[in-house]
A and B are shown apart, each in its own frame.
Chain A
Amino acid sequence: DIQMTQSPSSLSASVGQRVTIACRASQGIASFLNWYQQKPGEAPKLLIFEAIDLQTGVPTRFSGRGSGTDFTLTISSLQPEDSATYYCQQSNKTPPTFGQGTKLEI
């Protein structure tokens, strides 16, 4: 199975700050990388698919980069509602696998 490793595991930031979360795959996955946001008690929400494409309805302050094994999710100007746990997920091979999550506190 492909292992997905996120860093950091948690971070604290302020409103208006720019933050970046990293995700590394244990083998190359081309651009088959998705990012999800999950708030307590809620289902995950797709933010970014195929590494760089913004899901419809997601604010443009969210952006993704990367290919191969190294990827990033950037939130350009943090808002209070961005407080959540963020997961990367590879969709290149079966089984699809998720990172361990990054908890973002604002």
Chain B
Amino acid sequence: EMQLLESGGGLVQPGGSLRVSCAASGFKFTDYAMSWVRQAPGKGLEWVSGLSGGGGATNYADSVKGRFTISKDTSNDTLYLEMKSLRDEDTAIYFCARASCSSVFCYRFALWGRGTLVTVSS
């Protein structure tokens, strides 16, 4: 069964750092681009960052560029999002999502994890 499982969320102070993870299973990890999409409490969906299937290309929303870094480890089929200089407005559920192809510009998301909650608060 194809599955994505996020972990690593929690409470962090403004200005702090956190890394969230997404463990993939049931499909060939390198065949698909992956993205992080977030949802602030009671709000809509916001794409955050994407990574190509091969891992060589990345892109970011302007709101997180320079603060967040997306990466993957193909030895354990895990996607990461390293978040630094966190702000109150970064508080959200962070979902990882699998795209339908390997290009970093592929944005049809047919497989999602259940998400991990990141709360930025003092």
Residues of A within 8 A of B (CB): 34, 36, 38, 42-46, 49-50, 55, 87, 89, 91, 94-101
A45: chain B residues within 8 A (beta carbon) = 112
B35: chain A residues within 8 A (beta carbon) = 96
Task: Tell me the smallest distance from the CB of A17 to a CB of chain B, in Å.
Answer: 25
- Determine the distance from Cα of A101 to Cα of B46 in the docked complex, in whole angstroms: 12
> Could you list 30 examples of A-B contacts with CB < 8 Å?
A36-B45, A36-B109, A38-B45, A42-B114, A43-B112, A43-B114, A44-B37, A44-B109, A44-B112, A46-B109, A46-B110, A49-B100, A49-B110, A50-B108, A55-B110, A87-B45, A89-B107, A91-B106, A91-B107, A94-B105, A94-B107, A96-B35, A96-B47, A96-B107, A97-B47, A98-B44, A98-B45, A98-B47, A100-B44, A101-B45
Task: Provide the B41-73 mask, 1 if CB < 8 A to any CB of A, else 0.
Answer: 000111100100000000101100000000000
Q: How many residues of B contact A (CB 8 A)?
A: 22
Q: Which of A50, A55, A94, A101 is in CB contact (< 8 Å) with B44?
A: A101
Residues of B within 8 A of A (CB): 35, 37, 44-47, 50, 59, 61-62, 95, 100, 105-110, 112-115
- Determine the distance from Cα of A95 to Cα of B50 in the docked complex, in whole angstroms: 9
Question: Which 7 A-B pairs rank lowest in CB-CB distance, beginning with the nearest?
Answer: A43-B112, A91-B107, A96-B107, A98-B45, A46-B110, A96-B47, A101-B44
Chain B residue at minimal CB-CB distance from A90: B107
The answer to whether B46 and A46 touch across the interface, beta carbons within 8 angstroms, is: no
- Determine the distance from Cα of A34 to Cα of B47 in the docked complex, in whole angstroms: 14
- Determine the distance from Cα of A36 to Cα of B61 in the docked complex, in whole angstroms: 20
Chain A residue at minimal CB-CB distance from B48: A95
- Determine the distance from Cα of A43 to Cα of B110 in the docked complex, in whole angstroms: 11
> Contacts A87-B44, A96-B47, A101-B44 given; 19 further ones with Cβ under 8 A?
A34-B108, A34-B109, A38-B45, A42-B114, A43-B112, A43-B114, A44-B45, A44-B95, A44-B112, A46-B108, A49-B108, A50-B108, A55-B110, A94-B107, A95-B59, A95-B62, A97-B47, A98-B44, A100-B44
- Determine the distance from Cα of A104 to Cα of B115 in the docked complex, in whole angstroms: 23
